[in-house]
Structure 1
């Protein structure tokens, strides 16, 4: 918080100096971070992704674009999160991007794991983070100072084409966007060059103002206490900034108790609905600014996370294999909540789940919610004569 105090005690005439000395990263440090990221960019541009997961063609990266603070020139000192948008040859429309987005994430993930240059940079935590849109997130280290960098890769359709800088997109691009009818923000990476250039070519004064606003925004948040619940383990108490990414919260959990599987965090809203907490989001994104309780669940592929809503309105998270029997989840519920298997009735989208059926038969996917109810007693006492 020292920097925050310095900011409030800095007269307007010295704000430029404050930005240069306290907020603007050194050229050497920034170059060290970007040098490691170039290894990722070079791999993506030079390697061909072999078509699998429903893709019947080879996939090439047409272009990579650094976006966010590193892309537009407003990065803060000490920030080590770099986002890359990759435009791919297999996306020839917004509809194709929506159809093949998950398949491409799997292809890129597999390719990164085979790159010796990245492995030598300490490649870790390679996971698909849910968001708008979903992205591939991993960490590497710089070569000299061994700073840990978080890299986010977002595949996108090159809707603007190889247009000249500062040129206006053809109106048909926006017509196609409207007709795509997807969730708001799903295709925003397709327009990342417009977003980046809007800031990148602005005067230094404006960039300094943006750095000041970012710094103030990050520093004004008061730390809160988060209680992490995990079945079979004691509660873990963490002090976190509600504006920091949940990826950093997961790192704190890993440092405190270690994790062998994929970390899944969720919390129960006042309405009783349980929400998945995306690694790229923060607690503030979900309106959490005070002490709260969140649930930690570890899954190991092919397991997925599902939520079970109880008769009392509460909910719990469970790990299941889509190819396992419904009865296996009922056993988990009995062990965790005490309700006997034979007394449980599970429903998904109005359909009652049968004990000896597989979850995949019902189309149940990651983070879906099942409804738990207690069966009515069908045993009637004998009538006395």
Structure 2
């Protein structure tokens, strides 16, 4: 059943009424969806696996969790996607889920075909697309009992990775380390984290859920219908983007103007190539395996939208965001986005500020908050003002296992794929000094400001003063050749930002005599 009024023709100041009258689910429809859920759940729990063995083990249902829009509390009137996530005892690991999922889905399909009468519904199994991959879910449709409406149901077998952890708490990082090292396809095991995904949305205020319904209605009516065969982003990606816009635009205020929120989301979609968002509610950077993986994810081609419950699930990946942006641009020209004072809307950056830890030799470290899309020269200006510096600043950073990199004034942190907390080393130089990086056998790099006419011995003395080996215990190499004490850096054609290798006498680094 379609809303009686078209969204694009609805004035911006009437969007609240549009949601309440056209999108908010009526009690009768909510009852239909709940009834379909309960009957499906009872069938799966009590009838589907009776006397069934998988791998010489009797299959038991540990729990059934409601996902989708009905689980999150964002159901649209006469439109619903009911996800039943089925946690089974035969899955004792993510590997088990990957290996046995196809067997379980085939078993459910057979039982539905032969025992659908126990559901007291007209059941229609969805046609499975031809693919070489084992299906992750089983889809079927049921007809509502009191109307001609169709309710879609997806059954997703899953490993109970959380083991009854409370959604309000942060799971042990070992769970995510295990997920990452299993090497499944991106987001393959997301059903295991359904309870966290559901709580992340369901716990939000009612007004935000109205905005979520509005964005979802826009997605279904104006995107899905227009581009039926295109690989569009999932609705969940737009839900997360909407939650992010609300967090950034209102500082999580429960009272806001619906039109301002809708416009903010459309503007983000218009500028999708800059989006890089993630949360640290359920996983963070403290565990080394998880930290390295997240940082790698954040360097992927944008848009990057990491599932707050599953870091392997980048919802921005390989989708037709250009089509989404095209429709968002058109939407911004419609009556639903016309406001009296557009400048009073939400200010939403496409990525959160980055916490930059500023480090300077023999000085105490301090933290600076930086918009990743601001040019580096703005950060230099703040550092100069805070530290009382007057010379030229050279900023550099180093990721574990990688060489030190200089930050160019004309570029941004985003250009270097930096969207999370980072340490930046500051070196104040006075012309004609250059900066050189000295990397030791452990992979650690330090920066030194030095006159190009100074000798290699002068550099060695600086290294000793900074806590390095004594001058006589140092061997310096550049581009594979040993550097002698009496030669100057300019003679050796060592230039600004070059890297010199330091070897302590008595030690040798790989590939060196």
What TM-score, normalized to structure 2? 0.42
Give, in angstroms, the shift of residue 38 of structure 1. Answer: 1.1
Secondary structure at 1:143 match in 2:
coil
CA distance in 2, matches of 1:207, 1:150: 21
Match of 1:19 in 2: 19
Residues 39 and 178 of structure 1, relative CA distance in 2, 3 Å threshold: same
User: Map of 1:298-337 to 2, 5 A cutoff?
Assistant: none
Structure 2 spans left out of the alignment, 5+ residues: 233-317, 324-513
C-alpha contact 2:69 2:80 (8 A) present in aligned 1 = no
Matched, 1:162 2:164: yes
- Residues 24-103 of structure 1: pairs in structure 2 closer than 5 A: 24-47=24-47, 48-52=49-53, 55-103=55-103
In structure 2, the CA distance between the partners of 1:141 and 1:172, relative to structure 1 (3 Å rule), is same
2:225 & 2:109 partners in 1: Cα distance? 34
Map residues 273-288 of structure 1 onto 2, 5 A cutoff. none
Compared with structure 1, are the counterparts of its residues 64 and 243 closer, same or farther at alpha carbon in structure 2 (3 Å cutoff)? farther
Which residue is 1:218 aligned to? 220
Does residue 106 in structure 1 map to residue 106 in structure 2? yes
* Residue 26 (structure 1) shift: 0.2
Q: Residue 207 of structure 2 corresponds to which residue in structure 1?
A: 205
Contact 1:109 1:126 in 2 (8 A): no
Note closer, same or farther for the CA distance 1:3–1:30 as it changes in structure 2 (3 Å cut). Answer: closer
Match of 2:179 in 1: 177
**Structure 1 residues 242 and 20 mapped into 2: Cα distance closer, same or farther (>3 Å)?**
farther
Once the two structures are TM-superposed, the CA of residue 49 in structure 1 deviates from its matched residue by: 4.4
User: Residue 286 and residue 24 in structure 1: after superposition, are their counterparts in 2 closer, same or farther (change >3 A)?
Assistant: same
Structural mapping, 1:374-385, within 5 Å: none
Higher strand share: 1
Going from structure 1 to structure 2, the CA distance change for 1:162 and 1:119 (only over 3 Å counts) comes to: closer
CA apart distance, 1:219: 2.7
**Are the equivalent residues in 2 in contact too, given 1:25–1:76 (CA < 8 A)?**
yes
SS at match of 2:36: helix
Q: Give the Cα–Cα distance (whole angstroms) in 2 for the partners of residues 287 and 173 of structure 1.
A: 31
Distance of 1:132 and 1:192 partners within structure 2:
20
Deviation at 1:170, TM superposition (A): 1.2
Structure 1 residue 111: Cα displacement: 2.4
The change in CA–CA distance for 1:118 and 1:128 in structure 2 (over 3 A counts) is farther
Which has the larger Rg? 2
> Any idea what SS the aligned residue of 2:209 has?
helix
**SS of 2:223 mapped into structure 1:** coil
For residue 70 of structure 2, give the secondary structure of its aligned residue in structure 1.
helix
Distance in 1 (CA, whole Å) between partners of 2:198 and 2:80 is: 18
* Residues 184-222 of structure 1: per-residue CA shift (max 9 Å, x gap): 111010011110100101001111111111112223338
Distance 1:108 1:2, change over 3 A: closer
